Amino acid sequence: MFRLSQKADYGLILLSNLAHSKKMVSVSAVAKKNQISSKFLSQIATELKNAGLIIAREGTKGGYKLARKPKEILLIDVLKLLDGELVVGECFEDDHECHCGGKEMWQDLKKQLEETIGSKTVADLVVT
Using one digit for the tens of pLDDT, what is the confidence trace for 48-63?
999 999 999 998 888 9
What total number of domains does the chain contain?
Answer: 1
Q: Is 70 exceeded by the pLDDT of residue 90?
A: no
Specify if 75 maps to a domain.
yes
65: left (phi over 0), alpha (psi -120 to 50) or beta: beta
User: What CATH number is given to the structural domain containing 54?
Assistant: 1.10.10.10
User: Which of 26 and 85 is assigned the larger pLDDT?
Assistant: 26
Distances 93 to 86, 87, 106, 112 between C-alpha atoms, Å:
13, 10, 10, 15
Specify if 19 maps to a domain.
yes
What global pTM score does this model have?
0.86
Specify if 18 maps to a domain.
yes
**What's the pLDDT band for 22 if we cut at 50, 70, 90?**
confident
Q: How many C-beta atoms lie closer than 10 Å to residue 19's C-beta?
A: 21
Closest by CA to 41, choosing from 21, 26, 59, is: 26
44: containing domain: 6-125
Q: Is 80 exceeded by the pLDDT of residue 6?
A: yes
| pLDDT given at position 1 | 53
| pLDDT given at position 110 | 83
Specify if 1 maps to a domain.
no
Distances 92 to 82, 86, 101 between C-alpha atoms, Å:
20, 11, 12
Do the Cβ atoms of 76 and 114 come closer than 8 Å? yes
